[in-house]
Amino acid sequence: MSDIFLFNKPFHVMSQFTDSDGRATLSDYIRIPSIYPAGRLDYDSEGLMILTGDGELQHQISHPRHKLNKTYWVQVDGDIDDQAIAALKAGVTLKDGPTRPATVHRIIEPSNLWPRTPPVRFRAAIPTSWISLTISEGRNRQVRRMTAAVGYPTLRLIRAKIGDWSIDNLAPGEIKALTIGPEFKRYRTRNAQKPTQSQRNTRTTTRRKRSS
């Protein structure tokens, strides 16, 4: 059995416990010793983080190989159209390469959404809209770059789920403890990303070199 902690990170909080520039950090909200984030969340993004003191579990949750989907609520600048939604679903090409296909659909503003401090700046003549976007990658500022690539810059970004864990009933700045049992190992194995043919070929070549 291992404990994890679900934390709803507020806006403009670093996803670490110290900061040399004096910005707000996890230590302003979390007083539990010897736990660490399993993955990061941008300073200007909000929502779910998972922390644990179990190093192996931390790796299992955060490593891209284990393919835990992450779902975001995204407020974008403009009334996003079907063409942009289709492009996000298919995968868009960024500077560091194409993204994997994503699960995307329009949503109304979530009813359990909290006010952001400071609030998003709105332009009276330009509407905004919301989407739910689920990805299985974790590139730097990926969601923001994806929506910008299809012509709809992100105004507000909230991570709502990681795998089966969500921010339901968790207010900004709140933390909740959960116990993870053997079922997570089965879940992880079932959802682990299978190696590609080129990766299998590379492993075979490596083994041959080591044996020669």
Clarify whether residues 192 and 167 are in a common domain. Answer: yes
The pLDDT tens digits of the residues spanning 141-170 come to 999 999 999 999 999 999 999 999 999 999
The pLDDT tens digits of the residues spanning 83-137 come to 999 999 999 999 999 999 999 999 999 998 999 988 998 887 889 999 999 999 8
Clarify whether residues 193 and 206 are in a common domain. Answer: yes
- Confidence (pLDDT) at 126: 86
What residues are labeled active site? 42
pLDDT of 194 above 80:
no
Closest CA to 51 of 71, 69, 66, 36: 36
Range of the domain at 82: 69-162
- Report the C-alpha gap between 3 and 175 in whole angstroms: 12
Using 50, 70 and 90 to split pLDDT, how confident is the model at 209? Answer: very low
Backbone angles phi, psi at 3, to 5 degrees: -95, 140
Clarify whether residues 86 and 158 are in a common domain. Answer: yes
Using 50, 70 and 90 to split pLDDT, how confident is the model at 212? Answer: very low
Asked if 97 contacts 147 with a C-beta cutoff of 8 angstroms, the reply is: no
Largest CA distance in the chain: 70
Asked if 143 contacts 154 with a C-beta cutoff of 8 angstroms, the reply is: yes
**Mean pLDDT of the 66-81 span:** 92
Clarify whether residues 80 and 96 are in a common domain. Answer: yes
Clarify whether residues 61 and 13 are in a common domain. Answer: yes
Domain count across the chain: 2
Clarify whether residues 85 and 52 are in a common domain. Answer: no
